[in-house]
Structure formats: C-alpha cells, structure tokens
Copies of this chain bind each other. A is one copy, B any other.
Amino acid sequence: METTQISKQETFIGKEDLLNHWLGHRNLTRRVIEKFPEKELFEFSVEGMRPFSDMVKELLSIATPGLSGIVKRAEEPFSHDMNMTTKAELLAQWDKETPKIIDLYNQIPAEDFSKPFNLFGEYNFPIKDNILYFIDNEVHHRAQGYVYLRALGIEPPFFWER
C-alpha cells in the first residue's frame, strides 16, 4: 500500500544525484576533520559532548555498515568502537570507505528505496529514510565540529563548498 503510493509520486531527486549529493557532503566533512589540530580533534569538546573524533567514528560506523546491512538485509547492531587515535588514521579510514559507499549504494535497486528495513535491528523505516538519516546525521555532527573549530579560533570551511 505504502509502496504503491510512493511509486506513484513524481521524482524529487534521482538515485545517482542523491549519491553525488552525499559524496559532496563527505568531501566537506573530510575538510572539517583536516582543519582540527591533532590534539583538539581527540580532546576538545563543549560540556557534555564528545570530541569531534568520536562523532567522525560514529559517522564511519554508520555509513558503510548501514549500507551493507541494507544490501544484505542483515539487521545487526552497529558498534561505534573504533580503534583510531590519530587524524591520519581517521582520514585514511574516511577515504577507504568512499569506494565502499559507492559500491554498496549502487547495489540497492531503486524500487527498494521505499521499502521498509529495520536498520541495525533498531530503526524500522523506508530505506530512503535510513539513507537520508546517514546524510542528515553527518551534516548535524559536522556542524557541531564547526562550532568546536570556532571555539578554538579556527575558521571552518565554507558550508556551501562541496
């Protein structure tokens, strides 16, 4: 019923364009990681919040594992525990994930985007909403990184440059 209804809708954005939109955001997030001094990336935070490195680890633990879960329909829980302690390691991992994200995303048939999936065994939403959540969550945490940079007296990259 839901699926039928959605498939009747006119298109807002196509499959390929949405991937490119996400990859543009990932480029910007990478530049935000680069802007952090090594120590502050792992230690600085605003009260009650995590350092930006922990947010980046969260993003890494969601994107590829989430897409992999969608492709395999595997509802395994995610883990944010990642043993990375330097900016270079975070950036290397960030880059390593990019081709995996592209490959996994492209394996999702477009007709599946409106189908529900219980992501990580916990978030039961249409697959397109799961993917939009990956992107929104990245924009959300990256923006918190912007505030950290400002608080450290560092000019962040322009938001509209992807």
Contacts and interface: CB of A to CB of B under 8 A. Distances in A.
Given A17-B6, A150-B46, A12 B141 contact: no
A151 interface: yes
Interface residues of A, number: 42
Interface of A: 6, 9-18, 21, 25, 46-49, 110-111, 113, 123, 128-129, 131-133, 136-137, 139-144, 146-148, 150-151, 153, 159-160
Residues of A contacting B: mostly: helix
30 contacts: A6-B17, A9-B14, A9-B16, A10-B110, A11-B11, A11-B12, A11-B110, A11-B113, A12-B12, A12-B14, A12-B17, A12-B18, A12-B113, A12-B128, A13-B18, A13-B132, A46-B46, A46-B150, A47-B150, A47-B153, A48-B153, A133-B160, A136-B139, A140-B140, A140-B143, A140-B146, A141-B143, A142-B143, A143-B143, A144-B146
A15 B9 CA distance: 6
Given A10-B110, A11-B113, A15-B11, A139 B150 contact: no
B139 A143 contact: yes
A19 to B, nearest CB: 8
Contacts of A148: 147
